Structures are given as structure tokens and as C-alpha cells.
Amino acid sequence: MTTVAAYAAPAAKAPLERTTIERRAVGEHDVLIDIKFAGICHSDIHQAREGWGEAIFPMVPGHEIAGIVSEVGPGVTEFAVGDRVGVGCMVDSCGECENCRSGREQFCTGSGMVGTYNAVGKDGEPTYGGYSQKIVVDERYVVRIPDGLSLDVAAPLLCAGITTYSPLKHWGAGPGKKVAVIGLGGLGHMGVKIAHALGAEVTVLSQSLRKKEDGLKLGADHYYATSDPKTFEELAGTFDLILSTVSAPLDFGAYLGLLKTGGALVNVGAPEEPVSLNLFSLIGGNKTLAGSMIGGIAETQEMLDFCAGHGIGAEIELIGAAEINEAYERVLSSDVRYRFVIDTATI
Ligand SMILES: [Zn+2]
Ligand SMILES: [Zn+2]
């Protein structure tokens, strides 16, 4: 066991504070990672405030982890000391069920996916996330960060990157396709960059035109305000694919009206409240309303290689650990361009 400095929420809705946690001894197939950077994902805030249901406290959030391997277990074959690596939303699964074997470990039906934090590991101990200085992870849940990507801008790719890359790939974003991204936040800005790099014609649908200049710089071809009812008239029947990245409840029926016949609206946001939908907006035009949750380990590696190949990192605001609580408030008021990343040396 190693004692490690961390930032934790001691209870639901309580401010995060500095503490120490224990990391397990490095096992046969484990790597010890010196965490350098950890992104702040909106879901960290949902969970630290119990917005998604009962949670485990104290909680050390953080599932956008980038660091350097500092020790490996005797059975580790893929990683060596000094390697640049990342850890995303999961640190374990059964490895044997149909989903695990097909690279969709996030939907493990055996032991279930073990979340990087706010979960219980196979050893019966709670898992603690990336707002800390070190983490011990089974090598099967560790990915390689290519040399061309700086660790600070790579960290958010481990959740925001894969969450948008996976559905964009799955639903065929590419040349000749018109793709809209709803919301230009942490997820949305990655969606724009990745959809653009995949060769799609990209439109941002944002509440206002406040971030229009940024959106166009990030790779969007068009930018519309959804607060303007004319947007929904003008863009009716336009898109092959719409990716919704917002966690506020939306009028999905209105957005389905923007799809071409046979188009798909994929939701990756996780609102705390249910939404309602008139199903006529689906059956008229054979439309699909789909969901997507992060991606498997192999696909996460593919995404990192793709991002490195296209020079894509997240747009970040680097903060010290003492600023985490303030950063949470700013995320909630959409005042971040576009991801806060904690320099874990400051913990
Ligand atoms: Zn996340
Ligand atoms: Zn499994």
C-alpha cells in the first residue's frame, strides 16, 4: 500500500478538500502511474453531488487521467517504466463476457465495469480517481498516449474524446456527411474537432452565438443559435447525424426535425431528469434516436492514435488543485473554454 495525496469530496455536495488515500500494492498485472494531469468532467460534478443517485464517500473524482508509468508488476507485458499513459472511465471488468471480448468493456455483463472512482473494485475496496498523485491500474485498462500529444491536452481525451469519437465513428461521420453537434462545452468542442478531422461538414447548434468565433476556429463550418426559432425552420431536414452533448433536458422532438430521412440523433449527455418525446418525430422519416457511452479500451487507443495523427488535443484551462471547487461552479455556469485540467503536482 502507498499513501497518496488526493482531493476528495467528503460527502455529497460538500466542497472538495485535500486528503490522503491508500493505493494498493502493485500486483502481477498492475502498473503504477504517476498522475501528471486530470481533467474535470461534468460527470465528476454530477457524482460528487449525488445527482445520479447514491454515491460512495469520500469520493476522489477524475476519469481523465494522463501520467507516466513509474512501476510495473512482474506479469506486465505492454508497458514499461517511463511510458506515457492514460486511464479513462474504467479500471476493471470481467474480461470474459461477450461485451468484454468484443471490446465493449464498458458494458461488461460479468462482474460489471468497475468505474475509475465511485465504484468498488474486485478487492472490495472503493476506487479513487485522478484527482490524486498516483494510481494503480491493471494494464488491460491502461492506454498509451502517443508522443505527439502533450499530456495536459491529452487528459480530457480519455472521457470527452472517446465519448464523442465512438458515436461519430459508429454512425459514419465522414466526407459527404452533414453532422451537427449540440452544445459547445467540454464534450461538444471535442465532437467538433473530431467530426471535422473525420471529414464531415460540421454545424454547431448552441444556445447562443456567444462562442461562434471559437466554434469556427475549432473546425465547425456553420454555427447556429438554438434560442432562435428560425434555426429550426432553416435547418429542417438537413443533417445525417446529430450528436447531443448537453446534459440539460432537451426538446428532442425539435432536434429530430433537423434530421434527413433515415438520420440519427445520438445522445451522450446524461441529464438528471427524464425527458419526454412525441414518437411521431421518430416514425416520420425513419429516424433513429440512439445513445452512446464512452468506448472500449481498444477503441480508446484508436481514438488517441487518431487524435495524435490529426494534431488534436482538448482546449484546456490548467488549474491548481486549490481551484477545483471554483472550477466546478464555473463548469455549472458554462464558464469554461473548454476543459479544466488539474496540474496534479499542486495537490
Ligand atoms: Zn467523463
Ligand atoms: Zn465482462
3-state secondary structure of 280: helix
**Ligand nearest to the Cα of 62, by number:** 1
Structure confidence at residue 322 (pLDDT): 97
Q: For the chain, give the percent of residues with pLDDT over 90.
A: 95
Q: For the chain, give the percent of residues with pLDDT over 70.
A: 100
> Does 44 have pLDDT greater than 80?
yes
**Ligand nearest to the Cα of 339, by number:** 1
Query: What's the fold here for domain 2-159+295-346?
Result: Quinone Oxidoreductase; Chain A, domain 1 (3.90.180)
Q: pLDDT band for position 249 (50/70/90)?
A: confident
> Does 126 have pLDDT greater than 90?
yes
Mean pLDDT of 85-96: 98
* Domain-wise residue ranges, the chain: 2-159+295-346, 161-291
> Does 227 have pLDDT greater than 80?
yes
**Ligand nearest to the Cα of 140, by number:** 2
Structure confidence at residue 274 (pLDDT): 87
For residue 70, report the distance from its CA to the centre of ligand 1, in Å.
Answer: 25
> Does 272 have pLDDT greater than 80?
no
Q: What is the pLDDT of residues 276-332, one digit of tens each?
A: 999 999 999 999 999 999 999 999 999 999 999 999 999 999 999 999 999 999 999
Domain spanning 161-291: CATH superfamily: NAD(P)-binding Rossmann-like Domain (3.40.50.720)
> Does 260 have pLDDT greater than 90?
yes
**Ligand nearest to the Cα of 247, by number:** 1
> Does 262 have pLDDT greater than 90?
yes
**Ligand nearest to the Cα of 41, by number:** 1
Residue with cell 446524461: 270
Q: Are 242 and 255 in contact (CB under 8 A)?
A: yes
For residue 162, report the distance from its CA to the centre of ligand 1, in Å.
Answer: 9
For residue 64, report the distance from its CA to the centre of ligand 1, in Å.
Answer: 7
CA–CA distance, 99 with 103 (Å, rounded to integer):
6
pTM: 0.96
Q: What is the pLDDT of residues 153-185, one digit of tens each?
A: 999 999 999 999 999 999 999 999 999 999 999
Cα→Cα distances 268→24, 92, 197, 231, 236, Å: 33, 22, 20, 22, 22
CA–CA distance, 183 with 217 (Å, rounded to integer):
15
